[in-house]
Every structure is written in structure tokens, then in C-alpha cells.
A and B are shown apart, each in its own frame.
Chain A
Amino acid sequence: MTKRQLTLLAVALLLVAWGFLPEFTITMLNYIGLYALVAVGLVMLTGVAGMTSFGQAAFVGLGAYATAWFCTAPAGAALFGLSPGSVALPWIGLAAGLLLSAAVAWCLGAVTLRLSGHYLPLGTIAWGLSLYFLFGNLEFLGGHTGLAGLPALSVAGFELRSVRELGLLTWAVLLLTLWALHNLLDSREGRAIRALKTGRVMAESMGVDTARYRIKVFVLAALLAGLSGWMYAHLQRFVNPTPFNLNIGIEYLFMAVVGGAGHLWGALLGAALITLMKQYLQDILPSLLGSSGNFEVIVFGLLMLLVLQRFSDGLWPSLARRVNRYLKAPPAASKGAGDALAQRPLPERGSVVLDATAVSKRFGGLLANNNVDLQVRSGEIHALIGPNGAGKSTFFNMISGVDDPTSGSVRLLGRDMRAQASRVFAAVGLARTFQHVRLLGNRSVLDNVALGAHLRGHSGWIASMLRLDRAEEAALMREATRQIERCGLAPQLHETAASLALGQQRIVEIARALAARPSVLLLDEPAAGLPYMEKQALARLLSQLREEGMAILVVEHDMEFVMNIADRITVLEFGQVIARGTPAEVQVNPKVLAAYLGGADGEVTP
């Protein structure tokens, strides 16, 4: 049996059993479904994208109060010219709730997501508290007593009066959501989302607008919470502020973390565990402790500490490992036919593609680069060398948009790139590797390389969720596979990036850069850590790329490697250009010899 078949079987069993299960079980299942919907948003946010929110309960509250107000306030119905009690009102409430949730999430995200990661959660604590006080103090929302008398939902003429009927809707929505999110994560957009957690600098260099993606993930999580709130309101038939306060927001996070914040199904597991435990603890703790109160939070908190210290990925991975032993691996994805990716024409051979003029960078009192001029032409390999601390990496960061020069200009394919982010450099046609390898360690080599081709695909989130992106996805995968094969890593295609030797990881970075089909390729110490044979292979690959007309700028310490492949060399020392020319010219330049052999911090071939 495969994983997919097991899932379908479980869903079918649930559907068959739905009519026979006792009322209490159905009620619990209903709540588990509603909570899991919120928790799965937190899984996307926390485990996948590396952010978090303690204020999801407030979004649930927005969804619930929006529909409650439209369904109960005469003014709400009058706004749309409907009579009170119209069956359309809950749907207007739904739209309003989702709109509100998205708007609030967008604003919160816009002000916090450009800052360090902990500002969003702190912002959501404040927001969760504020909204709770606001709900409790607004007259038209019924203050602390809330709003009562919500109608039952009716879907296509069927009234969902009982818990059993409404539960079907809850679980249908939940399962569809899980399916859509699973599809989303398994797509071009999903790869970009996964990079948000640990690889933002890298993702930006591949053309991903990470701030925008972060906001979108946060809005998505808020929408799921709002949707859950809408169903919750029509299940309860009344709303008051209590279920939407900060403590509940924290409980939602417990669900995601305990279940397994990196796994969609972990949300369901966590929601089920916490809901059942809460039910059980609320029964036994008061008799155990002799007084009544919110004591389950002590147990939840300790459980959470234990999980974070001992099973930092939550409980789902352990469960999945056990079950996976009995499951067949899914059939390998067929390569399938698909459109070819658009090929950007390379610039004319010999034309200047990257032009840095008088670039200077000052860090406080340190002048790391002083009036550096450098031109890279298409169809040539240009090497930038210099002793350690000469300012090579600083210069690299400035010509790739990771940092801005203090003065001077950088032109890429004729465009002035002043104050542009690195994703714009990528869009214009530059790809780079990093000196300190930046790969997503727990993703496969294929996934990592496919991220390089991000800008060559165009399917959005909705298309990815609905699997409308398959042709493009197949083309992206084919392109990534081709680049990996070309770099000689075909045997490692499906291994995780972290399991490779450091030298191989550098090659993965090159394959990722090539997947972008750049006009300019920047390589930061590509040969470091490579054995002799593989260095030879890398040299052959770079020569081949040069023949194709790519412009290549390489920073490298391995002099033999550099002198063999470079057409021209620029030598930096103490932030200044001390020599430039062909390898033969540079090798006999007295300044270069002094820098490498005469200086106290000189360094020859490592």
C-alpha cells in the first residue's frame, strides 16, 4: 500500500463511520477538525516558513464575529438590502471575515516581516490581546456577553443543523485544505516557501522576494484561521470573546508544535492530541488539585517543553517513520512531456555584461573596497584574486546586490543596479554561488537546484494548489536534472544536500546557479575542498560554459586552477586593485609577487 492509498482509505473509513459514531465522538471530531484547520496554517507559518504567531485565535475571532454580526445585526443585512435571516448572510459573513483576516494579517506582516523573525510573534501577542479586549468592549459586538442567535449554515439548499451535518463540511474543508497545501509545498512556489526558514539570502539571490512570500504565508495562515472561525460560529450559534483570547492562540501553537510543526498532518495529530488531552485534563485535574481553574495549561506547557527539548520536530515524524516501514514508496514521478523552459538569449560574445566603476565600500573606519573597477565580458572567465582580507567577498556582495556600495556604480547588462536587491540582479541575468555554502540541508539535491530555476517558472500559489502547474513543474525538474547531470552529480540527485561532502555541495551551488540560465555567473571559491579529479572536471565545465558565451567571474585561492582557466585576472589587495591582465602578465607583476610572497599575511596556493 502506498501513502496515498492509506490516506484515501482512512478518509473513506471516516466517511463510512460518520453516520454511526456516537454524538460525543462526532462533536470531538468536529472541534478537532476546526482546530486542525488553524493549526495547519501554523505549520505552514512555523515549521515550513520559520515564522510564528501566537495570535491565530484572534483571526479565528475575526472570522466568527464577522459572520455573527452580519447574521444577527439588522444593519448588517440592510447593508446588502437583504432581510434579516436570509440564507445569504452567512456567506457575506464569510467573505467579510476572510477579507478582514487577510487585511489585518497583511498589515501586521508588512510592519514586522522585514524585521528579525521574533518581531512578528511579539506583534501577534500584542494583536491577540488587543483584539480580545476590543471584542469585549465594543457595544455592537455585544461586549463580554457576545452575540447569540446565529442561524445554521445552509449549503446548496441543505441546512447543516446538527453537529453531524456541519462536521461533514468541517472535515471536507480540512481535507481539501491539506490536499491543496500539500500540492503547494510540492511545487516551485513551495520550494521558495521552504527557503524562507533558513535560506533567505540565498532565495533572494535566486530571485525570490522573500518578504512578499513571508507576508503571503502569514495571510494564508490568517485566512485558514478566519475560515475555521466562520464554521465555529455556526457550530456554536453564538460568539463571545473567550475562545479567541491569547491563551487559546497559544494552544493552537502547541497543537502545531506538538504534532510536528514541519508536517501538514502533524497539525491534525497535534489538534487531536491537545483537544482530547484538554477534555480529559479538565475532568481530572480539578479533583486532583482540589480547586478548579485553567490547570491543563501547566500540563500542556510541560509537554511542550518536553517536545521541544526531546522531539524538536514534533510527534508526527516518529509516527510516520513507524508507519512508513509498512508502506511502499510512491512510484517515481514520471518525467512526462512538458513545455521546455524559456531560454534567455546570451549577450553577444565579447560585450561588457558586468561593469563595476569606482566601487567603494566603507564599514565604519574600514575601507573594504577602494575605487575598484572591474569589467566582465561575455564569453570570458575573469578571476578575482587576492590575499585573505583583500575585500573580494565584500566586492562580490556588492556586484550581486547582497550589499550596497558606499559609492561607485554597478551596471549589469547595461542597467544601473544602484540600490537594487539581489533578486533584481537575478532577474536581470546574474546567478551566484556562496563562499559559505547556502543549501537547504534537508531537501534533496534536485529540490535545491530546482530553486535556481525559480524565475523561469510562472505558476502562482493558486495554480500550484490546484495542480495546474504540472507541465511547468516537469520542465523545471527536467532542467534541474540536466544541470545536475552536467555537473556530474547525477548519482546524488535524490540525496539530501546535507549528506554530501562540502566540495560536492559547492558543485550543487553551481548547478543551482546554472539552472537560472544566467548571462553572468559569479563563483565564490568553487574549487575549495575539491579533489584533483573533480577540480579538472570543474575546469572543463567552466570552459564549456565560456564557449557557450556565458560571462564568468570567479574568486579563487587555488592559483593553479585560476592560471589554467582564467582569460583575465584582477588582483585586489587591501581593497584596491593592484594589478590586472592575462595570467602571464599577472604572474610576473612585482606588486602581485610582493602581495603574495612578501607580505606578512601572504598566502600561496593552499
Chain B
Amino acid sequence: MDGQVALLLAQDGIVNGAVYALMALALVLVFSVTKVIFIPQGEFVAFGALTMALLQAGRAPGTLWLLLALAAVTLLVESVRHQRGVAVDWKSTAFWAVLLPSLAALLVLLLRPTSMFGQAATTLLVITPLGPLVYRLAYRPLADATVLTLLIVSVALHGVLVGLGLLFFGAEGSRTSAFSELRLELGGIPVSGQSLVVMGVASLLVVGMFLFFERTIIGKALRATAMNRIGARLMGIPTELSGDLSFALAALIGGVSGLLIAPLTTVYYDTGFLIGLKGFVAAIIGGLTSYPLALFGALLVGLLESYSSFWASAFKEVIVFTLIIPVLWWRSLHSHHVEDEE
């Protein structure tokens, strides 16, 4: 390996690491607010990428039908809850289950945007409401369950979504056209405009999330809910909305990640799973709680993957996923008193 190759691999690793960082961010967010270990996070990535590909091909993506179906079921479930005397927050329900799905349907079926950014926005509009709807249908009825039960739900949901992905998009992969056709030479190595877009958007999202959590009242309310749910509720924070919001952010981040990687690599219906899991390895490095450590972990995973694809390409997945073992071992050194599971 000469210096040039090393730099190329580093570039590759950082670009992939940026996507894993977004995954890790979403996973830490969802886990800290809702205790859900969100295995299906990666499915949003594949859904985002493949929805964009179908829009570019001028076809209506199956994810739209999924969105409309989930919205209808959610409305049904909320009405039943209402009938049974549960206080239903109709404002947020209307937003996630009526307004956004209708807008998405309008865009996909009637307006059919042709510009790149119009299509990207449409994709995000289809993907983002999937988050809160999935949360309400799959997780909310189990809000008091253990982390373990919620994890099993996540795995079941992952199965459902991957199966639906195959149904919607078929077994063939797709690649979309790049957001930037730019080609640069930096210090003697070629850099594609798309990788710059990936890194730029990822950094923007990370900074945006940071500002959201540090500076806005909603962000602070989410953090409060994450730290102490009952305490937050006593302070008047509507904690049940925090689930909607964190899942919406997770879906949005997933959709954006899908848009970012689709021009770089061929995305299949099940590609998202591996991407999401690598985000998990990163998030676990941060103990599922620390954002900065998770970002660091994501870069580590990206670089490890890109260098191992050079040295032992057949074993790159083995190497990346085996990284989790020493990480867990390192974390276990810091805990020696037994605690009961919540």
C-alpha cells in the first residue's frame, strides 16, 4: 500500500464513516428517548435510496402505499383508543397521519417533481412520517415493556420492513444520479463531488442536531425526557410526543443517508440492514448514550472497513462486526456492581 492508496482508502472510510455517524446519531437519539434499540433504522436508508431511484425513473414507489396504509391504520387505532376513553392527541395525529401523507401523495402522484431537489424533498416527505407511524403502531402499546422486549419488537419489525422492501423494490439494486458531478484533485488524489456532498450534509446534520438539542426548547424537552421521563412529565413536557419526534428524526436521518449513499453505491432492498448495524457498532462504542463517542466510533468503523476491504476484502464484514467484542469487553471493565434491569 503506498501513500496514495492509503489516502484513497481514508477518503472512502471517512465518507462511509459519515453515513455510519448519521446512523449512530439516530440510534442514540431513539434509544435515549424511548429505550427502543431501533434495529430497523437501516431500512429507512434503503427505503430512502430506492424511493429516490423510482422517482427518478418516473414511477410511484411502494413506500408511498406503505405510508398511506400505516396512516390509515394509525387513524383507526387512534379512533379506537378515543372510543375507549384514552386522551388522543389529535393535533399531532393529524400532522403525522393526515397532513404529511397527503402532501407526499400529492407530490408523488400529481406534481411529480422533475428537479433533483424536488425529488429529494418528496422522498424525505414519504420516509419521515413512517418513523412516528411505526412508533405508534409497533412500540407505543409496549411503552412500559423492558428494553429486551422492545428489542425483540425491533427485530420483528426489521423482518417486516425488509420483506416489504423486497416486495416494493424487487431483488435488483438501484443507483441514483449524483447530486454533484464535480471531480477534484486534492493533494494528488481524486475526490468526487458526491463524497464532498456526503461529508458536508452529514456535518450539517450533526451540527444542526447539536444546535437543536442545545438551543431549542423542543430539543431540551427531548433531552429532559431522555434523562427522566416522569420528571419531564411533571414539568409539563408531553412525553408521549417525544416518541413521535425522535422516530421522525430517525426516519429523516435515515432518508437523508439513503439519498447520500445511493449515487455512491448500488443499494438493494436489504442493504440498509448492514449499514444500520455498522451504525450500531459505532453507537455501542458510545455506550448508546454518548453522541461524541458514537461519532468517533463511526469514523473508526468506516476506516476499519475501508482498510480491511483492501487487506482482506472477503472478511471485511467479519472484521467490522467482530470489533464489537473488544469494545464490549472494554466497556465491561467499567462495571462491576449488579443492577436490576428496568
Which of A108, A200, A304 touches B338 (beta carbons < 8 Å)?
A200
The answer to whether B142 and A300 touch across the interface, beta carbons within 8 angstroms, is no
Within 8 A of B (CB), among A159-200: 197-200
> What is the CB-to-nearest-CB distance from B141 to chain A, in angstroms, rounded to a whole number?
5
**Residue of B whose beta carbon sits closest to that of A308:** B153
The answer to whether A116 and B147 touch across the interface, beta carbons within 8 angstroms, is yes
Once the chains are docked, how many angstroms separate the CA of A304 from the CA of B160?
A: 10
The answer to whether A199 and B338 touch across the interface, beta carbons within 8 angstroms, is no
The answer to whether B328 and A130 touch across the interface, beta carbons within 8 angstroms, is no
Within 8 A of B (CB), among A370-412: 402-404
Once the chains are docked, how many angstroms separate the CA of A199 from the CA of B340?
A: 6
**Given A122-B280, A130-B322, are A308 and B315 neighbors across the interface (CB < 8 Å)?**
no
Once the chains are docked, how many angstroms separate the CA of A438 from the CA of B167?
A: 49
The answer to whether A129 and B152 touch across the interface, beta carbons within 8 angstroms, is no
The answer to whether A297 and B148 touch across the interface, beta carbons within 8 angstroms, is no
The answer to whether B339 and A200 touch across the interface, beta carbons within 8 angstroms, is yes
**Residue of A whose beta carbon sits closest to that of B160:** A301
**Given A211-B338, A293-B171, A294-B166, are A111 and B156 neighbors across the interface (CB < 8 Å)?**
no
Once the chains are docked, how many angstroms separate the CA of A312 from the CA of B150?
A: 12
Once the chains are docked, how many angstroms separate the CA of A184 from the CA of B222?
A: 46
B151, CB-defined interface residue at 8 Å: yes
The answer to whether A308 and B337 touch across the interface, beta carbons within 8 angstroms, is no
Once the chains are docked, how many angstroms separate the CA of A114 from the CA of B153?
A: 24
List chain A residues, Cβ under 8 A from B141: 309
**Residue of A whose beta carbon sits closest to that of B315:** A137
The answer to whether B328 and A297 touch across the interface, beta carbons within 8 angstroms, is no
Which of B37, B147, B324, B331: most chain A CB closer than 10 A?
A: B324
> How many B residues touch the partner, as a band?
35 or more
The answer to whether B340 and A118 touch across the interface, beta carbons within 8 angstroms, is no
Within 8 A of B (CB), among A320-369: none
Within 8 A of B (CB), among A394-449: 402-404, 421-422, 438
The answer to whether B148 and A117 touch across the interface, beta carbons within 8 angstroms, is yes
Within 8 A of A (CB), among B146-165: 146-149, 151-153, 155-160, 162-164
Once the chains are docked, how many angstroms separate the CA of A257 from the CA of B142?
A: 15
Once the chains are docked, how many angstroms separate the CA of A292 from the CA of B39?
A: 25
A54, CB-defined interface residue at 8 Å: yes
> What is the CB-to-nearest-CB distance from B73 to chain A, in angstroms, rounded to a whole number?
11
Once the chains are docked, how many angstroms separate the CA of A294 from the CA of B162?
A: 9
List chain B residues, Cβ under 8 A from A296: 163
B248, CB-defined interface residue at 8 Å: no
Within 8 A of A (CB), among B110-155: 138, 141-142, 145-149, 151-153, 155
A201, CB-defined interface residue at 8 Å: yes
List chain B residues, Cβ under 8 A from A129: 274, 277, 317, 321
**Residue of A whose beta carbon sits closest to that of B171:** A293
**Residue of B whose beta carbon sits closest to that of A300:** B159
**Per-position contact with A for B225-264: 1 when CB-CB < 8 Å, else 0?**
0000000000000000000000000000000000000000
**Given A210-B338, A301-B156, A301-B163, are A134 and B318 neighbors across the interface (CB < 8 Å)?**
yes
The answer to whether B152 and A52 touch across the interface, beta carbons within 8 angstroms, is yes
List chain A residues, Cβ under 8 A from B164: 298
The answer to whether A126 and B324 touch across the interface, beta carbons within 8 angstroms, is yes
A600, CB-defined interface residue at 8 Å: no
The answer to whether A50 and B148 touch across the interface, beta carbons within 8 angstroms, is yes
Within 8 A of B (CB), among A49-95: 50-52, 54
**Given A198-B340, A250-B159, A308-B142, are A118 and B37 neighbors across the interface (CB < 8 Å)?**
yes
A119, CB-defined interface residue at 8 Å: yes
The answer to whether B340 and A253 touch across the interface, beta carbons within 8 angstroms, is no
B332, CB-defined interface residue at 8 Å: yes
Which of B167, B315, B325, B340 touches A108 (beta carbons < 8 Å)?
B325
Once the chains are docked, how many angstroms separate the CA of A118 from the CA of B336?
A: 17
**Per-position contact with B for A297-313: 1 when CB-CB < 8 Å, else 0?**
11011101100110010
**Per-position contact with A for B160-185: 1 when CB-CB < 8 Å, else 0?**
10111011001100000000000000
The answer to whether A111 and B328 touch across the interface, beta carbons within 8 angstroms, is yes
B2, CB-defined interface residue at 8 Å: no
The answer to whether B328 and A198 touch across the interface, beta carbons within 8 angstroms, is no
**Residue of B whose beta carbon sits closest to that of A422:** B338
The answer to whether A114 and B336 touch across the interface, beta carbons within 8 angstroms, is yes
**Per-position contact with B for A4-21: 1 when CB-CB < 8 Å, else 0?**
000000000000000000
List chain B residues, Cβ under 8 A from A50: 146, 148, 341
> What is the CB-to-nearest-CB distance from B41 to chain A, in angstroms, rounded to a whole number?
13
**Per-position contact with B for A110-144: 1 when CB-CB < 8 Å, else 0?**
01101111110111011101100110010000000
> What is the CB-to-nearest-CB distance from A43 to chain B, in angstroms, rounded to a whole number?
13
List chain B residues, Cβ under 8 A from A198: 340-341
List chain A residues, Cβ under 8 A from B331: 115, 119
List chain B residues, Cβ under 8 A from A133: 314-315, 317-318
**Given A115-B332, A289-B167, are A54 and B155 neighbors across the interface (CB < 8 Å)?**
yes
A295, CB-defined interface residue at 8 Å: yes
Once the chains are docked, how many angstroms separate the CA of A122 from the CA of B152?
A: 11
Which of A46, A293, A301, A302 touches B167 (beta carbons < 8 Å)?
A293
Which of B155, B328, B341 touches A250 (beta carbons < 8 Å)?
B155
**Residue of A whose beta carbon sits closest to that of B313:** A137
Within 8 A of B (CB), among A266-324: 289, 291, 293-298, 300-302, 304-305, 308-309, 312
B83, CB-defined interface residue at 8 Å: no
List chain A residues, Cβ under 8 A from B15: none
> What is the CB-to-nearest-CB distance from A458 to chain B, in angstroms, rounded to a whole number?
23
A509, CB-defined interface residue at 8 Å: no
Which of B142, B147, B332 touches A114 (beta carbons < 8 Å)?
B332
**Per-position contact with A for B306-342: 1 when CB-CB < 8 Å, else 0?**
0000000011011001101100110110011111110
A254, CB-defined interface residue at 8 Å: yes
Once the chains are docked, how many angstroms separate the CA of A129 from the CA of B162?
A: 16
> What is the CB-to-nearest-CB distance from B333 to chain A, in angstroms, rounded to a whole number?
9
List chain B residues, Cβ under 8 A from A108: 325
A204, CB-defined interface residue at 8 Å: yes
Which of B138, B159, B277: most chain A CB closer than 10 A?
A: B159
Which of A111, A289, A304 touches B325 (beta carbons < 8 Å)?
A111
B100, CB-defined interface residue at 8 Å: no
**Given A50-B148, A121-B148, A137-B315, are A297 and B324 neighbors across the interface (CB < 8 Å)?**
no
Once the chains are docked, how many angstroms separate the CA of A108 from the CA of B151?
A: 19
The answer to whether B315 and A134 touch across the interface, beta carbons within 8 angstroms, is yes
**Residue of A whose beta carbon sits closest to that of B339:** A201
**Given A114-B332, A133-B318, are A201 and B340 neighbors across the interface (CB < 8 Å)?**
yes
Once the chains are docked, how many angstroms separate the CA of A117 from the CA of B170?
A: 36
Which of A130, A210, A297, A304 touches B318 (beta carbons < 8 Å)?
A130
Would you list 29 pairs from A and B whose C-beta atoms are within 8 A, ordered by A residue? A50-B146, A114-B332, A115-B332, A115-B335, A117-B147, A118-B37, A118-B148, A121-B151, A122-B284, A123-B324, A125-B277, A129-B277, A130-B318, A134-B315, A134-B318, A197-B341, A200-B338, A211-B338, A250-B155, A289-B167, A294-B163, A295-B163, A298-B160, A298-B164, A305-B153, A305-B160, A308-B152, A312-B149, A402-B337
Given contacts A129-B321, A199-B340, 7 further A-B contacts (CB under 8 A): A126-B281, A204-B338, A289-B167, A295-B167, A298-B160, A302-B156, A305-B138
Q: Which 10 A-B pairs have the closest CB atoms?
A: A301-B160, A298-B163, A301-B159, A304-B156, A126-B321, A111-B329, A137-B314, A297-B159, A301-B156, A126-B324
